[in-house]
Amino acid sequence: MPQSPSPAAAPLHLAVALDGAGWHPAAWREPEARPKELFTARYWADLAAEAERGLLDLLTLEDGLSLQSDHPFEPDTRTDRIRGRLDAVLVAARIAPLTSHIGLVPTAITTHTEPFHLSKAVATLDFVSEGRAGLRVKVSGRNDEVRHFGRREPIALELEDLDSPASLAGLAELFGEAEDYVEVLRRLWDSWEDGAEIRDAATGRFIDREKLHYIDFEGPRFAVRGPSITPRPPQGQPLVASLAHRGEPFKLAGRSADLAFVTPRDPDDARAILAEVRAAQQAAGRGAETVHVFADLVVFLEERPGAAAERLARLNETAGAEYASDARIFAGTPAELADLLVEFAEAGLTGFRLRPGALPYDLERITRGLVPELQRRGLFRTAYEASTLRGLLGLPRPANRYATASATEPATEPATAAVGA
């Protein structure tokens, strides 16, 4: 199995996770916050421009199918926290023409949406961004979201009892569905071969129907014939990412994703998580492929030692409670954060997704403080060296599975039926 290079041999990859006014619930009340602009395109465009200014590999955009809640599996009635979001895929499409290098990875929920719809939306994002699109697949265990759609029975998940037989069965179903979903996405992105569009006005041929393919996916959750209505994306396959905290999500990451976001507490925890992801990757026959694993950290940054901890304490006081997160919380200087990233990278991680505690403040501390510090250490790029997201992450453009099949096997159905008469 390929081993990840050491930080000395390969610079780190950096991503930033954008959500609301920042990941601390009181961040929207900070002087630098822009709460009145959260539902404007300009706000997200400005954040993306700042992230690109820092030469970051990619940004992610959070999303959901119900209002945010302090409880993972049910709504709350709080009015002192940000509630409401714009659609992440549409926001990414809006800011794509305003950026030129950074990868754009919106979140999409697999549990209640259709893979055919998402496949063409993300393919479109890849065209609009000229090869910088990805998506983070996310499952939903919230029963208030079940009631938005009315197509399935509620799932019994309790945070305090996730290892019970009922919860484990529910998780297996949700993540099994997500795995099928990703497989359908990948097949649909390949359902048009490269060069299927001829665009020859002289002969009147726009498309080569021999290069369009049925995917004929049949599973317990989806039956999708294809082909897509959108040509193969510029990257061939846009990046697929997932966030993983435990067994079933680790399996999804290893079996289906190009990039996993994980939440280790220390380097030893990171090594154990990596072992689970790599085992799932190997079991899926993907041992020769590169699957990046980034650690998530919530960050509060200040130049003066101790100042970030003081600001975090003030935010906690404003919120009326100490901030807790699924990811490790860091409050310190950019140099101290750089030391921590190096320590984690030595465990085998290839990069980090940083969640700014407050926006735009901590994002600017990342791009204008942390990035220069890493550059001084020779651990981060000084210029963008690739034009696609796959290129930035050192991932190859995948071959089209159907192009190989069509070159060696006769078509089982008339190609002229692939897109209708």
> Parallel, antiparallel, or unpaired: how do β-strands 351-356 and 292-301 relate?
parallel
Residues in the chain: 421
Report how far apart, in Å, the C-alpha atoms of 360 and of each of 41, 237, 352 are: 15, 31, 19
CA distance 337 to 339: 5
Instruction: Say how many C-beta atoms besides its own lie within 10 A of residue 128's C-beta.
Output: 17
Tokens of 403: 């192009």
Conformational region of residue 362, where left means phi above 0, alpha means psi within -120 to 50, and beta covers everything else: alpha
Q: What is the DSSP string of 337-374?
A: HHHHHHHHHTTT--EEEEEESSTTHHHHHIIIIIHHHH
Listed residue (33, 53, 57) closest to 43, CA to CA: 33
Residue 141 CA, chain-centre distance (Å), reads: 18
Q: What is the DSSP string of 114-139?
A: -HHHHHHHHHHHHHHTTS-BEEEEE-
H-run or E-run covering 314? helix 307-319
Please enumerate in sequence order all residues whose Cβ is within 8 A of that of 125, keeping only pairs 6 or more positions apart, or say none: 89, 92, 93, 96, 104, 106, 133, 238
DSSP state of 77: -
Please enumerate in sequence order all residues whose Cβ is within 8 A of that of 169, keeping only pairs 6 or more positions apart, or say none: none
Q: Evaluate whether 400 touches 232 at the Cβ level (below 8 Å).
A: yes
- CA Rg, the chain, in Å? 22
Q: Is 63 annotated as a binding residue?
A: yes
Q: Is 107 annotated as a binding residue?
A: yes
Instruction: Say how many C-beta atoms besides its own lie within 10 A of residue 125's C-beta.
Output: 23
Q: Evaluate whether 415 touches 209 at the Cβ level (below 8 Å).
A: yes
CA distance 288 to 114: 30
Binding positions for FMN are: 63, 107
- Residues that constitute the known binding site: 63, 107
